[in-house]
Amino acid sequence: MSLDSIRKVHAQTVEVLMMELSDIVHTLARREEQYRSMEIQIQRDAEAYAQQTGQGMTIEELLEWQGKMSAQRDALQEVRVSIDRTTGLWQQTQERLLQARQECKLLERVAERRKTAVRAVMARREQRETDEAAHRQVSIRGDGES
């Protein structure tokens, strides 16, 4: 595989990782918003529960409230776990992106060194050809004077 092909593959990897990172950020934002909404709802329900307990309630109503609040806490915990998992995925993807960018920079330096080496070889070749041409002209003049 040529250096240019490898550079293109690495550039595509960077693009893919950037798109993945963008998707992860959007997912994380949605989940955090969901978490905040759930917290607000739980707070409202806790206030309603406190108000109803002050007014008195049956055992069935109490059990219903406790079940509802327990389910809400469980759902909130699931969203928290999902946020933590997504945050971890974001960190891993960010690290992979950083590594891919570093590899691209390294490949750019290698490509530039190769170009510099090729230019140096071509310059030496041109100089050698110029020197040979000058030497031939000197030889021809030298032969003509004899």
Tokens of 17: 């990782």
pLDDT of residue 143: 67
pLDDT in tens, 80-137: 999 999 999 999 999 999 999 999 999 999 989 999 999 999 999 999 999 888 888 8
pLDDT band at 141 (very low <50, low <70, confident <90, very high): confident
Phi, psi of 105 (to 5 degrees): -65, -40
Model pTM score? 0.71
Hey, where are the domains in the chain?
3-107
